[in-house]
Structure 1
Amino acid sequence: MKENHKERYPLVSILIPTYNRPHYFELALTSALQQTYPNIEILVGDDSSNEDTANLVQTKYLPSHSNITFIRNQRTLGLLDNSLSLFEKANGDYINYLMDDDLFYPEKIEKMMAYFLIDHNEELSLVTSCRNLINENGIPLPDGQLNPKISKKDTIASGIEMGNQVLINCHNYIGEPTTPLFRKQDLTEPFGTLKGRRYHFSVDMATWIVLLSKGNVAYISEPLSCFRLHRDQQLQSYTKQVDGIEDLTHLVITAKQYGFLQKREEWEQAIIEALNWIQKGFLYYRKDNTEIKNRLLQCQELVHKELTSH
């Protein structure tokens, strides 16, 4: 690739952490290979307990695709550490994760990078878009609470204002890790970490808050990726839900240090919403489980301490 081509089209790293899902993974990888943006590297971190994915990539894809780097982990890292390892190995100036059960539409990277390439837009820290929901068979699902549209048209907004809405409503408007594209240098904390705390469920929201504190966000109203809902996900497990409440509690309490919730009424709204989620935990998540109850009590105490300190 000629040097002027590299300057015009900075390298984008697509990072695919995968674990024991060769069928879904191949669909995700294919969607990455179909991107219309001309300067992409694809890094695959294989955390699988078997060789199915490794055999697939090594025999079918590596011989014909020089832009794929395949990493077979010597031991199981877990999703977050696998994702962190890929980030560290990425050569691109820009990063887009692709979860192994999700999909990109062909023009995703090209349309998102267009925002960064306009006058070398340094004020922009993140580009996201609407995303479609699909089921385990790839059949479209109706839009719902998981993927509300931020705007009916493409727009650029203040990262602080967008982050405030995320915190006030306790909702991930930015999307799952597959959805946004961001500049690598702007992520100054490890993926999934906020103020030194590793998140266990809302790892993406921790990272979006870091990035939103650095600049503006561009939102593309056209769906550019698919988020797959299927039985193998852990979204409904009690433990994961309580992990999410703990993450949310920390997120709301910590966000002011990143420039969010500076107005008293915004801060109060976010605190109230966090308390609502804690209360939902007491009502729905295994009342007979002492460990879960104690974890929720700790969250409640942290929020009450925050309230009394202000």
Structure 2
Amino acid sequence: MLQSTINYLGEPTTALLRKKYMLGGGRLGWTGKEGKYQISDFPTWFCLMAQGDLIYITEPLSSFRQHDSQQHQNLDTHFGGLICWTMMIQAAIERNVFLQKDIDKRKAIIQWLKYADENVVAMKDYPKDVWERTYVQDFLKAYAGMAASLSNGYHVEYNIDTTRPKGIYQGDAV
């Protein structure tokens, strides 16, 4: 998943798991640092997989309905997802889990950059107010940090504020 930036497992509703194996005994996420850039599914899968084996059943047991008002249609959510992927790659490298060999680290970073490049190219037509949005500016910082990591030993570093505004979902499992 880290080397392809594709969530092969899907939404949280498709999994059966024990809360005790989740972050802090019941929260979604992996590092606890994702904050406003936390995506509920793939960081949770990394948290669970870092603790041991899992079983993946290829037979579809649920379906995913798409509609116009879904969160992933939102531009901030899209850029937030890209940022979240950088945080997961960074955590895997720092924790020396999943991406242990240099070639695996390089593949994950380059694949993310390839995906992010498509988004940077699409941004050429964005109006100024979109460029000024926090999520877009943080994405550009993450982009620069990921690119720089290729020449500094795969150390992914960038500085963004991940604090969630009050009243925003904090990642507790239901």
TM-score by length of 1: 0.43
Q: CA deviation at 1:197?
A: 2.4
Structure 2 residue aligned with 1:227, among 41, 45, 64? 64
**Residues 243 and 168 (structure 1 numbering): CA distance in 2 closer, same or farther, change over 3 Å?**
same
In 2, Cα distance between the equivalents of 1:283 and 1:194? 30
Please give the residue correspondences for 1:88-127 in structure 2 after superposition, counting only pairs within 5 Å: none
Structure 2 spans left out of the alignment, 5+ residues: 154-174
The residue that corresponds to 2:28 in the other structure is: 191
Task: Kindly indicate whether the alpha-carbon contact (under 8 Å) linking 2:39 and 2:81 is maintained by their aligned counterparts in 1.
Answer: yes
The residue that corresponds to 1:76 in the other structure is: none
In 2, Cα distance between the equivalents of 1:279 and 1:290? 15
* Rg (Cα) greater in structure: 1
Q: CA deviation at 1:192?
A: 2.8
In 1, Cα distance between the equivalents of 2:101 and 2:36? 26
Structure 2 residue aligned with 1:290, among 105, 118, 131? 131
Aligned residues with identical type, % of pairs: 30
Q: CA deviation at 1:171?
A: 0.5
In 1, Cα distance between the equivalents of 2:126 and 2:114? 17
Matched, 1:301 2:138: no
Kindly provide the amino acid, as one letter, of the partner of residue 152 in structure 2: S
In 2, Cα distance between the equivalents of 1:174 and 1:261? 18
The residue that corresponds to 2:83 in the other structure is: 246
Task: Say which structure, 1 or 2, has more relative contact order (CA 8 Å, 6+ apart).
Answer: 2
Task: Kindly indicate whether the alpha-carbon contact (under 8 Å) linking 2:113 and 2:147 is maintained by their aligned counterparts in 1.
Answer: no
Which is richer in helix?
2
Q: CA deviation at 1:296?
A: 2.8
Task: Kindly indicate whether the alpha-carbon contact (under 8 Å) linking 2:23 and 2:30 is maintained by their aligned counterparts in 1.
Answer: no
Please give the residue correspondences for 1:51-66 in structure 2 after superposition, counting only pairs within 5 Å: none
Kindly provide the amino acid, as one letter, of the partner of residue 89 in structure 2: V
Q: Give the ranges of 4+ consecutive aligned residues of structure 1 lying more than 3 Å apart after TM superposition.
A: none
Matched, 1:255 2:96: no
Tell me the secondary structure at the aligned position of residue 308 of structure 1: coil
Task: Kindly indicate whether the alpha-carbon contact (under 8 Å) linking 1:278 and 1:300 is maintained by their aligned counterparts in 2.
Answer: yes
The residue that corresponds to 1:163 in the other structure is: none
Q: CA deviation at 1:175?
A: 1.1
**Residues 220 and 168 (structure 1 numbering): CA distance in 2 closer, same or farther, change over 3 Å?**
same
Structure 1 residue aligned with 2:10, among 175, 195, 205? 175
Deviation per residue, 1:253-275 (Å, 9 max, x gap):
11121511101111111000111
Structure 2 residue aligned with 1:281, among 119, 125, 135? 119
Task: Kindly indicate whether the alpha-carbon contact (under 8 Å) linking 1:252 and 1:274 is maintained by their aligned counterparts in 2.
Answer: no
Q: CA deviation at 1:237?
A: 2.0
In 2, Cα distance between the equivalents of 1:258 and 1:195? 17
In 1, Cα distance between the equivalents of 2:58 and 2:43? 23
In 2, Cα distance between the equivalents of 1:236 and 1:307? 31
In 1, Cα distance between the equivalents of 2:138 and 2:36? 15
Deviation per residue, 1:123-173 (Å, 9 max, x gap):
xxxxxxxxxxxxxxxxxxxxxxxxxxxxxxxxxxxxxxxxxxx10010111
The residue that corresponds to 2:163 in the other structure is: none
Structure 2 residue aligned with 1:269, among 107, 118, 124? 107
Matched, 1:217 2:54: yes
Which is richer in strand?
1
Task: Kindly indicate whether the alpha-carbon contact (under 8 Å) linking 1:213 and 1:258 is maintained by their aligned counterparts in 2.
Answer: no
Cα RMSD after superposing both structures? 2.0
Task: Kindly indicate whether the alpha-carbon contact (under 8 Å) linking 1:278 and 1:299 is maintained by their aligned counterparts in 2.
Answer: no
